[in-house]
């Protein structure tokens, strides 16, 4: 009878040790992730907000002087105000330019339109009208808010690209 009781005691101690290991592991994970309920989002944000791997060309300052930059508010139903950075070549006349809507990376949780500003300037210098969307980020805005803002930006560009020298059909 005593042998049976000691085996049951060992099982109880093993179960208690496993339970304590789980509790300590969870507390450790919470401390490591700074009590975030979305540790995966924190990891993605850290990766996406690293410095850019590509640097602008040496003559970038001169190139930037050939481009006009504007900031336009974009309203979308059920969403906070978003903004478009609009980059257009200074050269006037000629055919309306093809339009690029650039939505920055970040998975709706990080980054900004400012991270692609240099690229937008280079594309505008090459003859495009570039609109770079600065959409609302989580956790302040939840999906599908950025998608609504993107659709509002497209509607705005279809209706107004010509004001900036762009061709909404291209």
pTM recorded for the entire structure = 0.68
The model's confidence at residue 54, banded by pLDDT at 50, 70 and 90, is: low
**What whole-number percentage of the chain has pLDDT above 70?**
79
pLDDT in tens, 17-52: 888 888 887 776 665 555 554 566 666 666 566 665
pLDDT in tens, 115-152: 889 899 999 999 999 999 999 988 888 889 999 999 99
Closest of 154, 134, 126 to residue 70, by C-alpha:
134
Tokens of 60: 């970038």
pLDDT at residue 97 is higher than 80: yes
Burial class (CB in 10 A: 0-12, 13-18, 19+), 166: buried
The CATH architecture of the domain made up of 60-164 is 3-Layer(aba) Sandwich (3.40)
Q: Following DSSP, what letter does each residue of the chain receive, concatenated?
A: -HHHHHHHHHHHHHHHHHHHHHHHHHHHHHHHTTT-S-HHHHHHHHHHTSPPSSPPPTTHHHHHTTEEEEEEEE--TTS--EEEEEEEES--SSSPBPEEEEE-SSTTTS--GGGGHHHHHHHHHTT-EEEEEE---TTTS-TTHHHHHHHHHHHHHHHHGGGGTB-TT-
Chain mean pLDDT for the chain = 82
């Amino acid at each position: 009878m005593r042998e049976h009781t000691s085996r049951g005691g060992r099982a109880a101690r093993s179960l208690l040790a496993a339970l304590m290991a789980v509790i300590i592991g969870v507390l450790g994970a919470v401390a490591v992730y700074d009590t975030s309920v979305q540790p995966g989002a924190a990891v993605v944000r850290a990766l996406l907000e690293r410095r850019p791997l590509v640097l602008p060309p040496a003559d970038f300052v001169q190139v930037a002087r050939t481009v006009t930059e504007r900031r336009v508010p974009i309203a979308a139903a059920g969403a906070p105000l978003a903004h478009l950075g609009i980059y257009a070549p200074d050269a006037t006349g000629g055919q309306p330019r093809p339009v690029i809507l650039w939505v920055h990376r970040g998975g709706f949780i990080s980054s900004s339109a400012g991270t692609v500003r240099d690229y937008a300037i280079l594309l505008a210098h090459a003859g495009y009208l570039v609109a770079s969307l600065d959409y609302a980020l989580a956790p302040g805005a939840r999906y599908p808010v950025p998608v609504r803002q993107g659709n509002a930006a497209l509607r705005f560009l279809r209706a107004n690209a010509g004001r900036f020298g762009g061709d909404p059909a291209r």
